[in-house]
Structure 1
């Protein structure tokens, strides 16, 4: 790692969350090896979709559920982590605003494959 690639400052997740423009908008926080770390605001129902790779959800604040096709929904509260396995159709649903930290590959499409 060269000096140019070292971040000069820490990234505030709270400030990144506060700057999000609206529901389901994402903001890139960092790149780590072959993954990226993003934050997003969840509010309402996201469309059903799937990915060809696993997707990690960390509930930053609030509460939301991840509905999984043919499976029991997973409810996440602040501090909870859940990994949606690749290929599983899913959608996050938040009855009230919540924020999530996502860890995924840079090429992962928000609306799935």
Structure 2
């Protein structure tokens, strides 16, 4: 029996299909996690999650504002995890792209 190899996801190609800021596309699943790609531009609403959320800056620059803490500035190649339960929001003055690693059931606008 031949096992088919899954297709690789091309991040640059998927970026070209994003309809606008804060619209996500699922790239891959591994175990209990999903990798999503999104464009950031402007201010996302404040929210929190019942689980950690990993941000990997693919390109551009953005900041993650966290309630009661200093913002975290992200540039291409940076990784940051927002611990569960912390109110936060990403803010990008210019378009940027981010990979998000989270549970498949994680809601974009939080719990």
Deviation of the 1:18 alpha carbon: 1.4
Distance 1:23 1:74 in 2: 20
Where has structure 1 moved over 2 Å in runs of 4 or more? none
1:20-42 CA-partner distances (Å, limit 9, x unpaired): 00000000001100000010000
TM-score by length of 1: 0.94
For 2:45, the equivalent position in structure 1 comes to 47
Aligned counterpart for 2:102 among listed residues 63, 88, 104: 104
For 1:93, the equivalent position in structure 2 comes to 91
Superposed CA RMSD: 1.1
Distance 2:52 2:28 in 1: 18
Which consecutive residues of structure 2, in runs of 5 or more, have no partner in the other structure? none
Which consecutive residues of structure 1, in runs of 5 or more, have no partner in the other structure? none
For 2:21, the equivalent position in structure 1 comes to 23
TM-score by length of 2: 0.96
Aligned counterpart for 2:80 among listed residues 79, 82, 89: 82
Deviation of the 1:3 alpha carbon: 2.5
1:3 paired with 2:6, answer no
Distance 2:56 2:31 in 1: 19
Deviation of the 1:72 alpha carbon: 0.3
Moved more, 15-24 or 40-49: 15-24
